Homo-oligomer: A and B are copies of this chain.
Amino acid sequence: MSRIEVLREDVSLDAPTLIEGLPGVGLVGKLATDHLSEALDMCHYANVHCDGLPPVAMYGGGDPDLSTPVRLYADTERDLLALRSDVPVSPSAAIEFGGCLEGWYDEDRVTPIYLSGIGREREEGAASDLFGVGTGGASDRLADTGIAPPPESGLVSGPTGALLSRAVRTGTTATCLIVEASPRFPDPEASARLIEDGVAPLTGVDVPVTDLREHAAEIRQAKRRLAERMQAADETSSQARPLGMYQ
């Protein structure tokens, strides 16, 4: 049975925003949520037990206690949740997770912000373009913060696409930030852009991203394998694609 197991009953959240960071193009979502959790010193708030996720156990460096490979981290002060995953997530497991989350929403009224890359090579040093789309009234919030929709039509696929597809179906509110990112390498710069110009204005939470920018080369190297794996495993990799490219 799928469920969200809260580990910290002492942590109280009031209508929090959930930042989703499942693996995908440029690893932008994963890099962003990993960075947010560490920069804001978020606590390990819940384990996610979901049918369809790989049956593995995760251990943190220097910590003897095992946990699940997909977890929620919380910042009670800023009313933030971050969804972090150490394994690839299939679209069907994502939909399952979406169901869990929703049952759990009722009490906590969580508003999700999904993060996706759109594969596009760019010049060294050029800034990534950032776009926003959504459903269930999310467009107002995007307009307020000046985040424009992509100029070309497109599709969001992978686990993030599955979660968004579920939100469209159920009519719930969900925002998706889409940032141009390298289709071949981990892209910490794109991830920094996502936080600075997307997550920050939408949530009102300021997070320094100098680390992500300064250690870009290092991070690119360290996360290279996961990025390659994600590139190969199309289905479990979240991404936005313009219809022009697809068709």
Asked whether, in the complex, the Cβ of A132 is within 8 Å of the Cβ of B165, the reply is no
The segment from A75-83, A103-111, A154-162 found at the interface with B is A154-162
Asked whether, in the complex, the Cβ of A133 is within 8 Å of the Cβ of B65, the reply is yes
Contact for A161 among B55, B86, B166, B176, CB less than 8 A: B55
Grouping DSSP codes into helix (H, G, I), strand (E, B) and loop, the A interface class, with mixed when no group exceeds half, is mixed
Q: If A47-B168, A55-B91, A155-B87 touch, does A149 touch B63 (CB 8 Å cutoff)?
A: yes
| Most B-side CB within 10 Å, residue of A56, A87, A138, A246 | A56
Contacts of A152 in B (CB 8 A): 61
Q: If A47-B168, A64-B134, A65-B133 touch, does A153 touch B247 (CB 8 Å cutoff)?
A: no
Copies in the complex: 5
Whole-angstrom distance between the Cβ of A201 and the nearest chain B Cβ: 15
Contacts of A86 in B (CB 8 A): 153, 155, 243, 246-247
Contacts of A115 in B (CB 8 A): none
A74 at the interface (CB under 8 A from B): no
Asked whether, in the complex, the Cβ of B65 is within 8 Å of the Cβ of A134, the reply is yes
Contacts of A69 in B (CB 8 A): 155
- Interface 0/1 of A221-247, CB less than 8 Å to B: 011011000000000000010011111
19 of the cross-chain contacts (CB-CB < 8 Å) are: A55-B165, A55-B166, A56-B161, A56-B165, A57-B161, A57-B168, A59-B133, A61-B153, A61-B154, A64-B138, A64-B143, A64-B149, A65-B134, A66-B135, A68-B169, A86-B247, A87-B155, A222-B247, A223-B247
Q: A56-B161, A58-B243, A64-B142 are in contact. List 6 more A-B contacts (CB 8 A).
A: A56-B162, A58-B156, A59-B156, A59-B240, A61-B154, A66-B156
